[in-house]
Structure 1
Amino acid sequence: MNPRFAFLAAPVLLTAYGLIRLADGLDGVRGPGPAWTTGHLAFLGGLVLFVPVLLTLRRLAGGGRLATATAAVGLAGVVLSMAQITIDVVVGLRAGDHAAMGPMFDRVQEVPGVALAVYDAGPMLFYVGLLVAVAHLAMRRVVPVWTPIAIMLSTVASATNLDLLPAGGLLMLVAFTPLVRSAPAAVPA
């Protein structure tokens, strides 16, 4: 996969998810239905694209211990986020209406460790890994100092209120602009 494509498409898909999520809630309820499923699949696609993003950030930082540890933390967060989104899609497909979704989510989150790993702390590992990776690149002067600031603002916006996900995705897209130019056109085999 072309890392440049991943740096552009991943935040675009996160923005799309945020916009679809907003549209899904216009009637006062989110899910289940086509908007719920489509939005979550867009988010899942974005997460898949963050795998080459994190691996490219590792390479751009020289691949040392810090870069490798940071990529590992970020990738763990991606995997746990993908688990959350997959659960959300399955619940959305199985539930007959919005009221039926709550008890399904409750049953999943009652499994010991799932709430913490998949819904609370686990997904934050992705954002921590991403922020540390771009901060490392800024310290090495691979990207401008505003790049990690934009990633931090993107994360804070998205974590503060899920209705700010479109803004968070766009901020991430802006942050990735210098990385599109720095990233190799293709991953070596």
Structure 2
Amino acid sequence: MNPASRLAQISFTAGPAALLAGWFLLRPIHGEAEPGPWWTAGHLAWLAGFAMFGLMIFAMRGLAGPVRGGRRAAVEAATVVALLGVAANLAQLAIALHAGFTASDGEQMRALLSQARAYPGIELVVYTPGAQLFFFAVLAMAAVLALLRRVTTVSAGVTAAGVVLLGVATLQEGAGTALAAVGMAVMWLGTLLLGRGPSGDGLPATTPTRA
């Protein structure tokens, strides 16, 4: 396997793993906005995770193969939306890290974060719903790949379950809850299975498929 393919394979596990690692790194401060090593380490883990998610999206696009017509349009649309979501999350994490490095205490840090969100368009593009686009697109991409039989329905279903659990936990209780961690773990399992393709042998070589 060449290095690019190996990195693509790793991205299916490294992205969700880094997401879960960031959650654990924030436990000492209970996920609260508090400058210091835990805030920095947790958000650096998430930054690395979303960088790997970007690679994962390109790998998922490659899994679709040379399909045409409506299927190609669905794959390309999901890819674009997912990458926009990745960019939004990376921007959000960069803001959080800047605030953590700049602020001297939690109160000042929360003020800096609120100030950043107050800029026109930032709340919409960088936070919700911009950041959530990634998860919706992953759901769509997994469904399309399952319909194309590039991945198993089990892997697509487990990924979807993890994304839904994470979304419900974040919207109802916040990303720092135990349910959010469960969602991340289930998503991790799902994307690990996605990366193994329909045969369990890793990213498969695709063959031409008619629309």
TM over 0.5: yes
Q: Determine the structure 2 residue equivalent to 1:96.
A: 104
Q: Determine the structure 2 residue equivalent to 1:184.
A: 203
2-structure distance, mates of 1:100, 1:4: 41
Q: Which protein is richer in helix relative to its size?
A: 1
State the SS of the aligned residue for 2:34.
Answer: coil
Q: Determine the structure 2 residue equivalent to 1:42.
A: 45
1-structure distance, mates of 2:195, 2:166: 22
State the SS of the aligned residue for 1:103.
Answer: helix
Q: What code does the residue aligned with 1:156 have?
A: V
How far residue 41 of structure 1 moved from its aligned partner, in angstroms, is 0.4
Give the TM-score normalised by the residue count of structure 1.
0.89
Q: Determine the structure 2 residue equivalent to 1:31.
A: 34
How far residue 75 of structure 1 moved from its aligned partner, in angstroms, is 0.3
Q: Determine the structure 2 residue equivalent to 1:114.
A: 122
Asked if residue 149 in structure 1 is aligned to residue 154 in structure 2, the reply is: no
Give the TM-score normalised by the residue count of structure 2.
0.80
2-structure distance, mates of 1:11, 1:170: 7
Q: Determine the structure 1 residue equivalent to 2:16.
A: 11
How far residue 9 of structure 1 moved from its aligned partner, in angstroms, is 0.8
How far residue 21 of structure 1 moved from its aligned partner, in angstroms, is 1.9
2-structure distance, mates of 1:99, 1:78: 28
How far residue 12 of structure 1 moved from its aligned partner, in angstroms, is 0.6
Asked if residue 174 in structure 1 is aligned to residue 181 in structure 2, the reply is: no
Q: Determine the structure 1 residue equivalent to 2:208.
A: none
Q: Determine the structure 1 residue equivalent to 2:60.
A: 57
> What is the root-mean-square deviation of aligned Cα atoms in Å?
1.8
Spell out structure 1 runs of 4+ moving beyond 4 A: none
Q: What code does the residue aligned with 1:130 have?
A: V
State the SS of the aligned residue for 2:76.
Answer: helix
1:54-107 C-alpha deviation (Å, 9 max, x unpaired) = 011111112522111111100000001100011001001111011111211121
Task: Flag the structure with larger Rg.
Answer: 2
CA contact (8 A) 1:21 1:35 kept: yes
Range with bigger deviation, 7-16 or 137-146: 137-146
- Tell me how many residue pairs correspond in the alignment: 183
Structure 2 residues not aligned, in runs of 5+: 67-71, 205-211
Structure 1 residues not aligned, in runs of 5+: none
What is the aligned-residue identity percentage? 29
CA contact (8 A) 1:30 1:36 kept: yes
